[in-house]
Structure 1
Amino acid sequence: MKIGFDNDKYLHMQSEHIRERIGHFDNKLYLEFGGKLFDDYHAARVLPGFQPDSKLRLLKQLSDTAEIVIVISAADIEKNKIRGDLGITYDVDVLRLKSAFEENGLYVGSVVITQYSGQNSADLFKNRLENMGIRVYTHYVIEGYPSNIPHIVSDEGYGKNDYIETTKPLVVITAPGPGSGKMATCLSQLYHENKRGIRAGYAKFETFPIWNIPLKHPVNLAYEAATADLNDVNMIDPFHLEAYGKTTVNYNRDVEIFPVLNAMFEQIFGSSPYKSPTDMGVNMAGNCICDDEVCQEASRQEIIRRYYQAKCDFLRGNIPDTEVFKLELLMKQAKVTTHDRAVVDVALARAEETEGPAAALELPDGRIVTGKTSNLLGPSAALILNALKELAGIDHELHVISPAAIEPIQTVKTRYLGGKNPRLHIDEVLIALSMSTATNQVAQIAMEQIPKLKGCQAHTSVMLSSVDIKLFKKLGIQLTSEAKYENKPLYY
């Protein structure tokens, strides 16, 4: 895959700027981490060359001075909010994040439950964490937030929140997803630290939007697509323009909240350390784009993928139509249509030709293979099998899995496990393929091609089962599907 981003340069520049920012304050900096901390797949997709664990690697460079605080909103616990990329709830992701950080030698000091107003599910989660030996702090819903600053910055506002005990100069505030209350947690700590005579600092580690590339650059438009559910809008930072005469890009929530933040800083410290929301950020990503056209094209493809995902989510009843409309607008701004995704038209043509569900996948060298529905295989399973054959140079007429090996699996699915669909899913085909390697050298060659599927693009003519969707993710294939049920079921 073509590279458009210098990851090593990014790690060096970003870590240097964080160290510099710590020195601006009393050796205590609360750093709000936006986006996914150690599995930022969105950034990896729109900035080819960016490693999903870049932020984790950066923190490991700072591990002697850093500790992590994980924030989760009581409201998100209450409604079982799910991380779309992983398919797990936010409360489960808190445990996953803690485990992953500690496995990498990073210290997780505590968990903070924010926006608490007596939710029973939050109480249960807190008890669960404490029974596991994890320190838990509670931050409350503050009346009049964020406009009533005298009340917020008082003993009845931030003062009611638990003070989070920390021991390192750099405190990284992260969360399973947006809207968790990371910024409010940082500001609450500034209030408590100031009461203890410590002039702590606050900064934001945000990868997107990138402040020093154009407002309508596809990378920044892709960020709007990724946050369509939050209705984020990129905009010129008017405070930075006024203070420095320079045009920079930020987004509406930070611009709208900046006068409030500025007033809070003044209330806490007597003066504000920042003149604009852009000043608050630590973001060197724009300086590390080494091939702008590669990043632009990757971002256009991301916008199309987001559009297809929204169409499917709307059909399932998971999102309002306004999100779909916003993504349609972003596609127009990026000057792309669904036809700009190479696998779409091929998959639909194959479906029309076979009069059944079909799929297409683009290999790293640009070749496109397809898969159709048959008595033995669903279109996704057939697609993966055909892709492995193509990568291995195996004749498509040659069986790498004997039909006699597939039929017993179908029997187990339908006769013994009560399944209605006898066709094999991707995981079942891969298991059958792996079993075939014991007696079939060609099957072994096909199996060895699996890593080459990572980063490939795929499209299906109908929405898939959750089993196949998860398998595409595990294989690293970037999937889109038509917003269409195969059978129009009452549930799916």
Structure 2
Amino acid sequence: MRIGFDNDKYISLQAEKIRERIGQFGGKLYLEFGGKLFDDYHASRVLPGFAPDSKIRMLQSLREDVEVIIVINADNIENAKRRSDIGITYGEDTLRLMDAFRALEFLVGGVCITHFTGQPHAEAFQRRLESMGVLVYRHHLIDGYPSDVDGIVSDQGFGKNDYVETTRPLVVVTAPGPGSGKLATCLSQLYHENKRGMKAGYAKYETFPVWNLPLRHPVNIAYEAATADLDDRNIIDPFHLEAYGDVTVNYNRDVETFPVLKAMMEKIAGKSPYQSPTDMGVNMVGLCICDDAICQEAARNEIVRRYFAAAEELRRTGVGAATLSKIELLMSQADVTCDFSPAHQAALAKEEATGGPAAAMVLPDGELVCGKTSDLMGAAASLLINAVKHLAGIERGSYVVSDAALEPICRLKTQHLRSRNPRLHSDEILIALSLSSATSQKAAATVDALGQLAGCDAYFSVIISDADRSTYRNLGINVCCEPKYERRAYYHR
């Protein structure tokens, strides 16, 4: 992978900036973490060289000073809202986050359930956490939030919320996803700290949009594409421009709420430490791009991925026409089309030539490989085998999977598991390949080449199965599907 981002520089600069901000507030900082802390794959895709766990590695350098509060919206618990990327509920992800933090020896101060109005599932979730020894706090809906500043910053507003007891200088406030109430939690804590005569401050750590990149830079456009369903928009920060004369980029929700946020800070502490939404941020990402051209190309690829994801969602559910239209507009602004990757047209051409679903992928060495549907394998399995054979230096006509490995899998699938489709999925062909590697050096070399596929883009001429998609995701391969099904039917699995 061509590198466009200096990850080591980022970890160092980011930790230094956070230490500086802690000092600005007398030794106590509530840091709202936007985006994903452990697995920021969006950032790693648009900033090649950015490690998905960069932010948590940066925090590890501050670990002795860090305490974590995990925030979850009671309505998200009640509605069993799921993370679209890993398929688990926000409640389950809260448990996953706690395990991940504990494994890295971070102090987890507790879980804060926000927007609490007595939701039964939220109460059950609290009992579940408390039975495991987790401290749980409730924050309530506040009448007039966020416009009624006097009512919010009062004993009947923030004062009714539980105060989360913390002991470390840096309190990281994170959540399973957006809309969890992280900002309100931070402000509620500032209110309670101030009532107790304690000095404390607030800052925001949001990776995107990148404040010191141009408004229409592809990296920032890719963020808009990623949040198109939320109706987020990148805009110039007018408050920063007025206060300092500098052009910086923020997003609409932060800009729209800043006057109220500033008023709350003034009400809590007597004055606001910030003159703009940009002031609140501590993000150093934009200072660590070492090859802008590489990052621009990666961001354009991400915009195209978001287009295909939105088109597929619309085809599957009938929902998301406005999201798709917005991404199409963003594609024009980034000067990119759905054919940005040569693999897209290659997959369609292969389908036309073979009469069945097909796939294509550009490998790290620039080679374009294809896969087709056959009696033995689906297009996803075929593409996977052809790709790793090339990377392992195995000649195209050579077989790496033995009949002895294939035959029992096919028999099990059709005779015992009652599958009507005899073709092997990508996970099944990998099992056969792994079995073959016990007696074949070529198969072993092919298995070893699988790790080189991470970060590649695979294009399919049809919507692929969940089993194939899961295998590709586990290998780190990005999947783009033409928004159509393999067969004409009303119901698809």
Q: CA deviation at 1:193?
A: 0.8
Distance 1:478 1:374 in 2: 23
Match of 1:138 in 2: 138
Aligned counterparts, 1:352-391, within 5 A: 352-391=352-391
AA aligned opposite 1:198 = M
AA aligned opposite 1:475 = L
CA contact (8 A) 2:139 2:161 kept: yes
Match of 1:95 in 2: 95
Match of 1:310 in 2: 310
Q: CA deviation at 1:64?
A: 0.9
Deviations 1:412-436 (A, max 9, x none): 1222122222211111111111111
Distance 2:80 2:360 in 1: 34
AA aligned opposite 2:229 = D
What's the Cα RMSD here? 1.2
CA contact (8 A) 2:405 2:435 kept: no
CA contact (8 A) 1:173 1:182 kept: yes
Q: CA deviation at 1:105?
A: 1.8
Q: CA deviation at 1:80?
A: 2.0
Distance 2:272 2:313 in 1: 43
Distance 2:246 2:448 in 1: 52
Distance 1:149 1:453 in 2: 52
AA aligned opposite 2:452 = K
Q: TM-score normalised to the size of structure 2?
A: 0.98
Distance 1:171 1:420 in 2: 54
In structure 1, the residue corresponding to 2:63 is in which secondary structure? coil
In structure 2, the residue corresponding to 1:302 is in which secondary structure? helix
Distance 1:383 1:221 in 2: 31
Instruction: Indicate whether 1:228 and 2:266 are aligned.
Output: no
AA aligned opposite 2:470 = K
AA aligned opposite 2:398 = L
Match of 2:58 in 1: 58
Aligned counterparts, 1:330-345, within 5 A: 330-345=330-345
In structure 2, the residue corresponding to 1:250 is in which secondary structure? strand
Q: CA deviation at 1:404?
A: 4.6
Q: CA deviation at 1:199?
A: 2.4
Instruction: Indicate whether 1:486 and 2:486 are aligned.
Output: yes
Match of 1:152 in 2: 152
The 3 A distance-change label for structure 1 pair 269 and 86 is: same
AA aligned opposite 2:162 = D
Instruction: Indicate whether 1:399 and 2:399 are aligned.
Output: yes
Distance 1:151 1:117 in 2: 18
Distance 2:123 2:425 in 1: 40
Q: CA deviation at 1:440?
A: 1.7
Q: CA deviation at 1:318?
A: 7.0
Match of 2:328 in 1: 328
Instruction: Indicate whether 1:237 and 2:237 are aligned.
Output: yes
Distance 1:38 1:180 in 2: 17
CA contact (8 A) 1:116 1:139 kept: yes
Moved more, 39-48 or 410-419: 410-419
Q: CA deviation at 1:119?
A: 1.6
> Which sections of structure 1, spanning at least 5 residues, go unmatched?
none
AA aligned opposite 1:24 = Q
Match of 1:7 in 2: 7
AA aligned opposite 2:92 = V
CA contact (8 A) 1:137 1:164 kept: yes
AA aligned opposite 1:325 = S
Match of 2:187 in 1: 187
Distance 1:5 1:239 in 2: 29
CA contact (8 A) 2:74 2:114 kept: yes
Distance 1:120 1:357 in 2: 47
In structure 1, the residue corresponding to 2:339 is in which secondary structure? helix
Match of 2:410 in 1: 410
Distance 2:313 2:260 in 1: 35
Q: CA deviation at 1:125?
A: 1.4
AA aligned opposite 1:317 = T
Moved more, 392-401 or 150-159: 392-401
Match of 1:120 in 2: 120
Deviations 1:281-324 (A, max 9, x none): 00111111111110111000000000100111111217421111
Moved more, 414-423 or 446-455: 414-423
Q: TM-score normalised to the size of structure 1?
A: 0.98
AA aligned opposite 1:462 = V
CA contact (8 A) 1:388 1:447 kept: yes
Deviations 1:428-463 (A, max 9, x none): 111111111122221111111111111111111111
CA contact (8 A) 2:310 2:320 kept: no
AA aligned opposite 1:468 = D
Match of 1:299 in 2: 299
Deviations 1:140-170 (A, max 9, x none): 1112111111111111111111111111010
Q: CA deviation at 1:342?
A: 1.9
Distance 2:26 2:185 in 1: 19
Moved more, 155-164 or 330-339: 155-164
Distance 1:341 1:400 in 2: 29
Q: CA deviation at 1:482?
A: 0.8
Q: CA deviation at 1:134?
A: 1.0
Match of 2:277 in 1: 277
Instruction: Indicate whether 1:286 and 2:286 are aligned.
Output: yes
Deviations 1:29-75 (A, max 9, x none): 00001110021111111011111111111110000111111111112
CA contact (8 A) 1:199 1:269 kept: no
Distance 1:313 1:53 in 2: 28
In structure 2, the residue corresponding to 1:394 is in which secondary structure? coil
AA aligned opposite 2:232 = D
Q: CA deviation at 1:78?
A: 2.1
The 3 A distance-change label for structure 1 pair 442 and 489 is: farther
Distance 1:109 1:414 in 2: 52
Distance 1:46 1:116 in 2: 36
Aligned counterparts, 1:455-466, within 5 A: 455-466=455-466
CA contact (8 A) 1:310 1:319 kept: no
Distance 1:354 1:81 in 2: 41
CA contact (8 A) 2:300 2:334 kept: yes
Q: CA deviation at 1:399?
A: 1.7
Distance 1:311 1:264 in 2: 41
